Structure 1
C-alpha cells in the first residue's frame, strides 16, 4: 500500500505512465480542445490579442492538438508536456519536454495556458476518522484497494483547515497544496519573464461546494471508471480553484468556461454547455 499521491504520480508520469502512452490523452477522453479545436483556437487567439500577447504557451499540451489548431492565427506557439515532440507537429510550434526545458524567452509577451492540467496533478487524498481527523488514504495500485494510513503533513493539515474544513466521519478531503504550489511557481516564472497573462481552465469547486466524498475519478477508453493507479487509465480530481487562485497572491478573475467563451464569440453548444465543458472554471491572472 502507498499514499494515493505517490501511486497517482507513478501511474500518470512514471516511465510507463498513462501520459506517456503513444495514443495520448485523446485516446481516452475529450477535452474542449478535442471537441471544437477550431472555434476554441479562434477564441484564444482573440483573447491573446486583447491582452497584447503575441505568444501562447500551452503547459500540458498533450500531443499539440490545440496548438495545431492555433497555427493559422499567426501567434507564436510553444507546447510543454512530459513527452518528446510529437511526430508531425507543425514546425511553427516550439516544444519542450518538461517545464525545465522551456526557455524563459518563450514566456516573453505570452498568454500562458494550463488547460485541464491541474486536475491531473496528484494530491493527497485523506479520509476523516471517527474523531473527524484526516488520515491519508493508502492504495494498492494493481487493485485500487484502499486502507487508512497516517496523518497528513503539517502544511497539508493547515491547507485543509483553511480550504476544506469541517466534514463528518467517512468524508474525504483532497488536499490541493501540490496544485497551489505548481500554479504559484508557474505564474511567478511567467510574470517575471515577461508574460502578459496566465489562464487555468479546469473542473473545479470552491468553498461551500466541496464534494463530501471527493471527486477522484478514472477515465479509460472514453468511459468513467473506478480510479485505479495502475497506469491503464487517467486519474483525475477536481480543482479547489479558489485555493489555487489565492496561492499566487495576485489579482485574478474566476468565471465559467461558458461565460468566458461566449464573451469571446464562441457559439459551439458543447463548449458552452453549463452541465458539461461550459461548467469548467476559468481562472485568469493579467500582469
Structure 2
C-alpha cells in the first residue's frame, strides 16, 4: 500500500522539497495576501480587538504560520501604528529560507507560547494527509467523510492535530483561513473525487511526488475546529471582512482620490468574491477571550 502522506510530506518538506528549497506561493498561485494591503488591514482590526480583550499586554504577538514569502507578516508590521505598533512582535513561521522584512522575525518552528493572534493563512491545506480511494475503515472517515465505492477522500486527521497544537499555544485568538469543505457537503457527495491537487507556475498540473509542484487539498475546517475545541466560529471570508470594516465603498467624486478609492474597492471585491477568495473559511478560536468580542454573529460558513 502506497503511503501517500509520507510521499506528500517528502515532496513538500524533504531535503529537496518544494517548500524547503525556497519556493513561495506568489510564484505559483494568487493568495489574498498578494492582492494588496487590505487583508492585513482587516487582521490588524482583529488584532486590535484581541489586544483590547487581553487588557493591552506589554507584548502583543502576531504569528503568521506557513508564511510563504512573508508578505502578510510584512504588511501587518508596516500597517501597525500607535501603542499597538510599539508592543507588537511579528513572527513569520515557515520551513523555507528566511526572508528579510523590516521588523519581522523568522523561524521554522511554532513559538511555544503566543499572546495575541496566531494566523494560519493557507497553511493547513499544505499539511500532508493520507489520500484514500473507495470504502476505507478509519475513525476519522467514519466521523467526518464516509467514502463510498468509486469515491476518493483525504483523511484530515494530521490537519486536526496540527491545528489543535497551534491553538494550544495561544492566549488570545487563533485564526485558520483556507479553502475547504464541511461534513454536510462531503456526505452529500459534493467532493466524491476528493480534492488532492497540484499547482506549478500558476497552473493546475497532474500531482507528482518529485518536489516539482505544490501539493494541496481542501481542509475539513469543521473537523479542525472540533479537534482544537473551545469557543470558536466558522464563517466565510466575505462576511468576516465586512465585519472587520472592509466593504469597498467608492465615494461619488472624481480625481485622484476617487481613483485610489476605486482601486481599493476592486481589491476588496476580489477578497470578498463569492466562489473565489470570499468563499474561503475563517475558523476563529477565542482562547481566554470570547469570540463574540472579536466578531459579531455571522452566518455559518458553507463553501
Q: Which TM-score applies when normalising by structure 2? A: 0.79
Rounded to whole Å, the distance in 1 between the matches of 2:145 and 2:112 is: 36
What is the RMSD computed on CA atoms of the aligned residues? 1.5
Is 1:41 the equivalent of 2:58? no
Rounded to whole Å, the distance in 1 between the matches of 2:73 and 2:148 is: 44
Match of 1:122 in 2: 128
1:194-243 CA-partner distances (Å, limit 9, x unpaired) = x2000000011001112111001111000111222211110100011111
Deviation at 1:82, TM superposition (A): 0.4
Q: Of 74, 81, 84, which residue of structure 2 is paired with 1:68? A: 74
Q: Of 93, 98, 107, which residue of structure 1 is paired with 2:109? A: 98
The change in CA–CA distance for 1:13 and 1:23 in structure 2 (over 3 A counts) is closer
1:101-152 CA-partner distances (Å, limit 9, x unpaired) = x353xx12x1000000101101111111xxxx32xxxxxxxxxxxxxxxxx7
Rounded to whole Å, the distance in 2 between the matches of 1:229 and 1:271 is: 31
Deviation at 1:22, TM superposition (A): 3.4
Deviation at 1:55, TM superposition (A): 2.2
Q: Summarize the alignment of residues 211-226 of structure 1 with structure 2, pairs less than 5 Å apart.
A: 211-226=191-206
Q: Is the 8 A contact 1:163 1:243 kept in 2?
A: yes
- 47-56 or 199-208: bigger deviation: 47-56
Match of 2:295 in 1: none
Is 1:56 the equivalent of 2:50? no
Q: Is the 8 A contact 2:33 2:39 kept in 1?
A: yes
Deviation at 1:76, TM superposition (A): 2.3
Is 1:185 the equivalent of 2:198? no
1:81-108 CA-partner distances (Å, limit 9, x unpaired) = 102421x321x11221222xx353xx12
Rounded to whole Å, the distance in 1 between the matches of 2:109 and 2:127 is: 14
Match of 2:173 in 1: 197
Unaligned runs of 5+ in 2: 55-59, 249-267, 288-303
Deviation at 1:10, TM superposition (A): 0.4
Match of 1:89 in 2: 101
Deviation at 1:257, TM superposition (A): 0.6
Q: Which TM-score applies when normalising by structure 1? A: 0.83
Could you list the runs of 4 or more consecutive aligned residues of structure 1 that deviate by over 6 angstroms after TM superposition? none
The change in CA–CA distance for 1:23 and 1:247 in structure 2 (over 3 A counts) is closer
Q: Summarize the alignment of residues 1-287 of structure 1 with structure 2, pairs less than 5 Å apart.
A: 2-36=2-36, 38-52=37-51, 54-72=60-78, 73=80, 74=85, 75-86=88-99, 88-90=100-102, 92-99=103-110, 102-104=111-113, 107-108=114-115, 110-128=116-134, 133-134=135-136, 157-165=138-146, 167-190=147-170, 195-210=171-186, 211-266=191-246, 267=248, 268-287=268-287
Deviation at 1:251, TM superposition (A): 1.9
